[in-house]
Structure 1
Amino acid sequence: MADTACMTHNLLNRIDQRTRLAGHNRLALLLFRLGGRQLFGVNVFKVQEVLRRPPLFQLPGLPPQFAGAADVRGRSVPVLDLGLAIGHPERAGEEGTQYLVVTEFNRSVQGFLVSDVERIVNIAVEDIHPPPDLGAESTYLTAVTRFQGELIQVLDVESVLADITQARMDATLAPEMALPENAPPMQVLVVDDSRVARQQIRSVLDQLGVGVTLLSDGRQALEHLLQVHAGGEDPAGRYAMVISDIEMPAMDGYTLTTEIRRHPGLSGLYVLLHTSLSGVFNNAMVERVGANAFVAKYSPHELADHVLARLRQVAAEAAA
């Protein structure tokens, strides 16, 4: 394997290319192992850097899946043993977790210990598939794909972290955050491949008294909207808005928005992009693909503010 400093430099250079990938229906994955032969992947857009395992210090009260915390550039970063957290049967022990993957998502920084870091690959989104349906909501896979004949399991690190920390899936909204009493019934289409994100968004919409349709990737959403249109119904009449993640298998949120705007039967839909990815490039891409708004995950009150503003607008138009 290449020298770690060189690898980190190359990694950051590749991350800087994300604006060229975004909206081109390709996903950049950092590949790693947790022990054994199985390859795992995580969206490069969530990765800040990769380091040789640094010294760790203990913090009181952390769940047992946390190995401690690391001092990364003057910042205390909690460090999760990822193999232990997902129950990987071939996970490396403490001595085998040689690398720290530092990530940023949902407005926080989190470290993950892995046994080995392989490379970064760019995969066409049509080659990234939803995980097999095992009849269990607790799976931590968000997608599967292949690279050079090897199966890659793409992990939903948001769900891993939320389950271990027992993060609240909901937040109680203030009473004033409500629709007018005479508002008509409204529906919202939610598109997100993360189980945790879908639950969080649904909690907000349930409190607002809004009907919800949940789908797990952009292609599903586009096909659903086209079916609604083909059935003679205006999708913009059925759905007050579409809330879509950006990074998803089969079709990303940028491409979904572009396809919605290109189709005359769908172009009237209001699209809010909602993502755990950090970076100012999102705002530029939102404008470029024609989305109406962008909200970074996860602030339930900020999401509710955007949703409520749109729903009140729809209610006012209906009353007029």
Structure 2
Amino acid sequence: MAGVLDSVNQRTQLVGQNRLELLLFNLGGAQKYGINVFKVKEVLQCPPLSEIPKRNPVIRGVAHIRGGTIPIMDMRQATGHRPLENIEDCFVIITEYNRSTQGFLVRGVERIVNMNWGDIHPPPRGAGKENYLTAVTEVEGKLVEIIDVEKILAEVSPLPEDVSAEVIEDSKRETVVCKHVLIVDDSTIARKQIQKVMQSLGCKTTLRKDGSEALQFLEEMLSEGKDPYHELLLVISDIEMPEMDGYTFTAELRANSRLKNLHVILHTSLSGVFNEAMVKKVGADDFLAKFHPDELAKRVNLRIAQLTGEGEKVEQ
């Protein structure tokens, strides 16, 4: 199963072209699911698991893999279904999200498909707010559901979401009270996390689910005679999103003479050495791996300091 993943160098060629690769898997039924290959470190047969006391039931145990101890979560149970049985016959997808490594137990892993982000769509409106989908697509006439892994992780192992008092005190609230921060992310959980940080700093927020929606919002501001640069403190955008990814969204801003000066922070759970090069390529101002409230707040404070001419007083 190790051969199911191509070399990282091959996959990075897709970045910035509004394309991605999905690793398809199943949870024991006919429904197919997908996960961005960039978040996958390894795929292997389920190794022996050691139980841990007082564990969340979604965590089936921990595995010792390549010198590290990794929690293994039951993907089917995490999304509200019965736990997987006969786990020794299952597979584990080792992933890296939010600066940590974890494994997701699935029934079977199928193959990798090359997709365009334009073919990845938000979940149907009728899916309800409590679903675990971040997007859907179609492969060979069959629906593929892309699970909101960040929602699973927030429920199983919540991250701190509060900003430290000293970071809040560094914020120049009076300079931002009339400005909004545009938050662009397809994950409901991620949007709420970022919004909470912004509100702690006294910033108002505008939320959009993907790059296409965000670009439309900005174009509407222009058509109303508003200047987004003066209306918005900055833009915080995820990278992997349906319809239009964060790299393409940023490149679109930089190509528009009336939007090119917007301050853009790419904020994503994607990991990899390619990120810094891609940030420079598309013209983003900053990059931050999810999710650390103090670090995000400090980047916003840096932007405020730039606008007030007090940049030297704020440490990065």
Amino acid corresponding to residue 63 of structure 2 in structure 1: A
2:126 equivalent among 134, 159, 163: 134
State how 1:228-239 maps to structure 2 within 5 Å: 228-239=221-232
SS at match of 2:126: coil
Q: What's the CA shift for 1:97? A: 5.5
The TM-score, its normalising length taken from structure 1, stands at: 0.91
State how 1:113-192 maps to structure 2 within 5 Å: 113-134=105-126, 136-174=128-166, 175-179=168-172, 181=174, 185-192=178-185
Within 2, Cα distance between the matches of 1:63 and 1:139? 20
2:10 corresponds to? 17
2:235 corresponds to? 242
What percentage of aligned pairs have identical amino acids?
A: 48
Q: Gapped runs of 5+ residues in structure 1?
A: none
1:284 corresponds to? 277
Within 2, Cα distance between the matches of 1:68 and 1:95? 11
Within 1, Cα distance between the matches of 2:66 and 2:34? 25
Q: Deviations over 1:47-95 (max 9, x none)?
A: 0000011000011121011110011101000000110110246x64244
Distance change (3 Å), C-alpha of 1:294 and 1:81: same
Amino acid corresponding to residue 5 of structure 2 in structure 1: L
Distance change (3 Å), C-alpha of 1:41 and 1:66: same
Q: Gapped runs of 5+ residues in structure 2?
A: 311-316
State how 1:1-320 maps to structure 2 within 5 Å: 4=1, 8-13=2-7, 15-88=8-81, 92-95=84-87, 98-134=90-126, 136-174=128-166, 175-179=168-172, 181=174, 185-316=178-309
Q: Retained in 1: the 8 A contact 2:45–2:88?
A: no
Q: Retained in 1: the 8 A contact 2:46–2:87?
A: no
SS at match of 2:55: coil
Bigger mean CA offset, 19-28 vs 176-185:
176-185
Amino acid corresponding to residue 45 of structure 1 in structure 2: F
Distance change (3 Å), C-alpha of 1:94 and 1:171: farther
Within 1, Cα distance between the matches of 2:54 and 2:199? 33
Bigger mean CA offset, 136-145 vs 78-87:
136-145
Within 1, Cα distance between the matches of 2:242 and 2:175? 39
Instruction: State the Cα RMSD in Å.
Output: 1.8
Amino acid corresponding to residue 229 of structure 1 in structure 2: L
Q: Retained in 1: the 8 A contact 2:171–2:304?
A: no
Within 1, Cα distance between the matches of 2:104 and 2:93? 5
Within 2, Cα distance between the matches of 1:238 and 1:182? 12
